[in-house]
Structure 1
Amino acid sequence: MKLLETILLTTDFGKGSAPAMDAAVALAQTFESKLVLLHVIAESLLPFLSDQGDIAEIEKRLHEVAKQIEAQGVGAPEIFLGKGVPAEVICGEAARRDANLIVIGCGARERGGKCRPGVTADRLLRRAITPVWIARMGAAPTPRRILCPTDTSAASRRGLKNALALCRKFNAKLTVLNVQEPMLPLHTPIVGLSQEKDQARLNRQQRDFDELLTAFDFHSVDWTKKVRYGTTHKEIVAEAAELKADLITMGTVGKTGVERILLGSVTHKVLQELPCSVLTMKEEDVVRLRLESAISAIEEHFMRGQQLLERGLLADAVREFDQCLLSSPAYAAAWKGKALAYERLGEKDQAEAARAAAKRIRELRRP
């Protein structure tokens, strides 16, 4: 079973593409993923390509990169050479192939050691529905320390779910960060808040953060939570620097309400600093299960459920066990698996009901 089935690796053959290749290879090795290697000839350059020989030279370079990838033991990647507006072509190919992830480099390093996304990466982040991994120059391709900034939005929940899956696969340490922004005394009258009410707002945000964490299964993950106070993007960058984080996972839509802070704009500001590699998600998960209707074998669904249970993808595990029970309602092991998943989800009544069903089936089978 592959939870990260297809990775779309973009290259412009520049220095920034090297860390992207390293990250994509590490992911493909870990998740046994299929790699698609893509280069786009910008439409503005097409008039300067004199003949088919120029195209052939680009294809040759693509094949050279493919050989470097294959030499690392992940299998020969599929090669695609596109023409047009790079961000549009990349998004289109990701959608056509139902890719789980787009991996792209961050561009050249600037003075002072900073890296920022190039034009294509920046446009890609704005347009892509598919999750995007921006690999920073100098970053470790295999993340060992992952930072996940969260609020209470659906985007943050998606980011945390994927951060947990990556931590389990890479045996990485996770820091779940919540940034609280106190209102400046000068601003509180403008938005109709007293300092006392603003403190109550911060206390409520802390409770919401703690409640959010109870909805996730941190089984087998080395993790900690952290609260910082200040400007959101600055605190995220500071925390990443202190942790020496290898990867930040972020949703692209965040807080609403009196703060009127969109995590999308926060993400953009973090990317201008790019303290490490960054994984952004809008509408799709990086790690997601593909339920194939053609699969009818009970044992296949059961094994999927067991693997998902071990990886902490509990809702997906329940669905797999349900697939077993649709074909064989008396499959006690599937009922037991459901009980374990519901228990770790905090659904005590459903866990008890599934456990009781498994017990009844076993009792009926006794001689």
Structure 2
Amino acid sequence: MKLLEKILVAVDVNKDVTDQIDVAINIARTYNSQIIIVYVIPKEVLHPDISDIVIKAVKKSLLDVKETLENAGVDVVDPIIENGKPGERLLQVSADHNVNLILVGSGGSSNNNFKLGITAHKLIQLSDKPVWIVKAGGETKFSNILCPVDFSDPSRRALKNAILLTKKFRAMLRILNVYKPFTNITPRIQVDMEKENADLLLQQEYYMDEFLKEFDLSDIAFKVDVKPGSVHEIILQTIKKQGHDLLVMGTNGRSGFNRFMMGSVTERVVREMPCSFVTTKTHDMFQLKFDTEIKEIEVHLQNARVLLQKGLYKEAIGQYQMCLQINDMHIPSMYKLANIYRKIGEEKRAIHYDNMGKDLLSKLWDEKIEIEIRNHYKSGI
């Protein structure tokens, strides 16, 4: 099952890429992914008098990286050498090869003034594809993941990817929402701030509960935190206090992070490089080719039927949940899960999967109607 088919690993031959390659190996082994190694020689470096020498040295370094990956049992293609502006060329290569993920190292060690790195910063700003930034000297195996959410579509995509990472890495996931607490604007107006903030917390917790109903968290270890305060400060404090080794965040459009991660908040979080992190924008990290998806689902559906005939309900549930991991829009599996849970007396879970199926059917129907209306007006009728 190839949920993550191709990974572009953007290396810098002038730096130690050991941590980055260790992470690439970890991900590729976990998801059976193919690695594409890329290095961009800056235009100003490739002087005609020394170009042959530079290219030869770069090739040797990249072949060494390729050998390391091959020795680890990873599928890797011949390295690619580009010339020009690193950010622009990496984006072009990622599009040409239709990769699922761009993996890049951070700018440097903790003593570096700009820990994120210029190229990594550019990729986060401009890439439509998910970008994974590996912190220099950080963890290369991930067991403690943090996903901040603000209930927006970008944070939905981030959480969806965070859940899949958590399942595959058998990690613990913390889902965090940060909200601005109420403060008294003027002493002339007497307000019970303690009560107002208590009500605000209850409201945010309700929003979080409703938001999480959209996701299947049944097979993962997770915690939910709703906290008042400054977004970037709470995120950084949480990472430090809880020892998170991976941060997964949603971004929106080409201008940067979503509405709760804009401007100075964005800069403060990513520039600090508190741990390795993944940003998702308009593309999901995990995708499947349609024919492969159908074959995988058919296998699990058949397994589930056999298990149901034997009365092995718990095991059958696992098979239907595998179908939803492969394709989270597989409505038949949702209704099958609802039926099984109802049969074994777990009505709450049965209602959950019933609602998932109904909501998805409604959404698909609305989209169908919208397309028909658009086509009607385009035709000039």
Q: After superposing the two structures, state which structure 1 stretch, 343-352 or 135-144, moved more.
A: 343-352
Residue of 292, 299, 303 corresponding to 1:303: 299
Letter in 1 for 2:281: K
Per-residue deviation, residues 227-251 of structure 1 (Å, max 9, x unmatched):
2221101100110111111100000
Q: After superposing the two structures, state which structure 1 stretch, 71-80 or 282-291, moved more.
A: 71-80
Residues in 1 aligned to 2:184 and 2:120: alpha-carbon distance in whole angstroms: 38
Residues in 2 aligned to 1:335 and 1:227: alpha-carbon distance in whole angstroms: 31
Per-residue deviation, residues 159-183 of structure 1 (Å, max 9, x unmatched):
1111110111010011111111214
Residues in 2 aligned to 1:344 and 1:85: alpha-carbon distance in whole angstroms: 53
What is the CA-CA distance between 1:143 and the residue it aligns to?
0.5
Residues in 1 aligned to 2:357 and 2:122: alpha-carbon distance in whole angstroms: 46
Partner of 2:219: 220
Letter in 2 for 1:316: D
Residues in 1 aligned to 2:252 and 2:210: alpha-carbon distance in whole angstroms: 19
Residues in 1 aligned to 2:23 and 2:271: alpha-carbon distance in whole angstroms: 20
Contact map agreement 2:82 2:89 (CA 8 A) in 1 = yes
What is the CA-CA distance between 1:125 and the residue it aligns to?
0.7
Find out whether 1:285 has 2:284 as its counterpart: yes
Change (3 A) 1:120 1:94: same
Contact map agreement 2:320 2:336 (CA 8 A) in 1 = no
Residues in 2 aligned to 1:261 and 1:349: alpha-carbon distance in whole angstroms: 29
Percent identity for Structure 1 against Structure 2: 30
What is the CA-CA distance between 1:17 and the residue it aligns to?
2.8
Residues in 2 aligned to 1:99 and 1:47: alpha-carbon distance in whole angstroms: 31
Q: TM-score, normalised by structure 1?
A: 0.78
Contact map agreement 2:300 2:323 (CA 8 A) in 1 = no
Partner of 2:354: 348
Partner of 1:316: 328
What is the CA-CA distance between 1:344 and the residue it aligns to?
6.8
Change (3 A) 1:15 1:347: same
Report how many aligned residue pairs link the two structures. Answer: 328
Residues in 1 aligned to 2:274 and 2:48: alpha-carbon distance in whole angstroms: 36
Q: After superposing the two structures, state which structure 1 stretch, 153-162 or 49-58, moved more.
A: 49-58
For structure 1, the 5+ residue unaligned runs are: 255-259, 323-333, 353-367
Residues in 1 aligned to 2:95 and 2:273: alpha-carbon distance in whole angstroms: 26
Find out whether 1:55 has 2:55 as its counterpart: yes
Letter in 2 for 1:27: I
Contact map agreement 1:66 1:76 (CA 8 A) in 2 = yes
Residues in 1 aligned to 2:87 and 2:70: alpha-carbon distance in whole angstroms: 26
Matches within 5 A, 1:110-125: 110-111=110-111, 116-125=115-124
What is the CA-CA distance between 1:139 and the residue it aligns to?
1.8
Q: After superposing the two structures, state which structure 1 stretch, 267-276 or 201-210, moved more.
A: 201-210
Q: TM-score, normalised by structure 2?
A: 0.76
For structure 2, the 5+ residue unaligned runs are: 305-318, 343-348, 359-381
What is the CA-CA distance between 1:186 and the residue it aligns to?
4.1
What is the CA-CA distance between 1:110 and the residue it aligns to?
3.7
Change (3 A) 1:341 1:216: farther
SS of 2:138's equivalent? coil
Residues in 2 aligned to 1:228 and 1:47: alpha-carbon distance in whole angstroms: 54
